[in-house]
Amino acid sequence: MNGRVLIVAGSDSGGGAGIQADIKTVTALGGFAMTAVTAVTVQNTVGVTDVHAVPPAIVTAQIEAVMSDLGADVWKIGMMGSAAHVRAVMEAWYAFGGGAPVVLDPVMIAKGGASLLADDAVAVIRDELMPVAAIVTPNAPEAEALTGAPVRDLEGQRRAAEILVRKLGAYSALVKGGHVEGDIIRDVLLTREGERIFESPRIDTLATHGTGCTLASAIATHMALGEPMEVSVERARRYLMEAIRRAPGFGRGCQPLGHNWPLKLA
Write down the catalytic residue from 25, 211, 214, 221.
211
CB crowding 163-173: b at 16 or more within 10 Å, else e: bbbeebebbbb
Specify whether 213 is catalytic.
yes
Which residues in the chain show pLDDT less than 50?
A: none
Specify whether 211 is catalytic.
yes
Write down the catalytic residue from 41, 137, 208, 221.
208
Specify whether 137 is catalytic.
no
Write down the catalytic residue from 3, 18, 31, 210.
210
pLDDT the model gives residue 114: 57
Structural domains of the chain ordered from first start: 4-265 (3.40.1190.20)
Contacts (Cβ under 8 Å, ≥6 apart) of 88: 56, 57, 59, 60
Across the beta sheet with 102-104, the strand order is 48-53, 32-43, 4-12, 74-77, 102-104, 133-136, 172-175, 184-191, 194-201
Write down the catalytic residue from 213, 221, 254, 258.
213
Specify whether 210 is catalytic.
yes
For residue range 85-129, what is the model confidence (pLDDT) as tens digits? 999 999 999 999 999 999 999 987 655 555 667 778 888 898 889
Write down the catalytic residue from 24, 76, 111, 176.
176
pLDDT the model gives residue 107: 81
Q: Can you say whether the dihedral through the CA atoms of 108, 112, 113, 115 is positive or negative?
A: negative
pLDDT the model gives residue 81: 82
Quote the CA–CA distance of 108 and 103 in Å, as a whole number.
Answer: 16
